[in-house]
Amino acid sequence: MREIVTRIDIDAPPADVWQVLLDFPSYPDWNPLIRFIDGPVEEGAQLNVTLAPAGLKAKHVRPSVTRIEHGRELRLKRRALLPGLFDREQAFIVEARGDRGTRFVHRERFTGMFVPLFWGDVREGTRLAFELMNRALKIRAERNE
């Protein structure tokens, strides 16, 4: 298993950050990583997602919602071809920080036999894309305050 974890502190209440995360129709207005997302936010559901990190070709994926704890955590899982080859579980975690602030944790775990082969190509680009999304989320949530 390999993992990428990024964090950012946001000067907005957790409920506001969560609201921005679940406002899928507004993603094209602010999100530099996830340009489109649609589908029900319930465990077992499959979402339609378009990823378009800066400078890269758009990629359409269909992750499954593996966990939803409203106001706190959303996890999505996707696989390359067959289970156990190159699986990714992405987590968006909203944590209270102090009286009004939020810490947003953006994490992705990679498992499968092909992870070591592609880790070098995936690691830095994914981290950068997460950091860009985190900063955009911070701006959006703080602006909505």
Per-residue tens of pLDDT for the chain, all 145 residues: 899 999 999 999 999 999 999 999 999 999 999 999 999 999 999 999 999 877 778 999 999 999 999 999 999 999 887 888 999 999 999 999 988 899 999 999 999 999 988 888 788 888 999 999 999 999 999 997 5
Model-level pTM?
0.92
Question: Strand (E) positions, the chain?
Answer: 2-10, 34-38, 48-51, 59-61, 64-69, 73-79, 87-97, 101-111
R_g of the chain, CA atoms, integer Å: 15
61 φ/ψ sector (left φ>0, alpha ψ -120 to 50, else beta): beta
One-letter amino acid identity for 27? Y
The ranges assigned to domains in the chain are 2-23+65-143
Q: Which residues contact 122 (CB under 8 A, 6 or more apart)?
A: 110
Q: Which CATH class is domain 2-23+65-143?
A: alpha beta
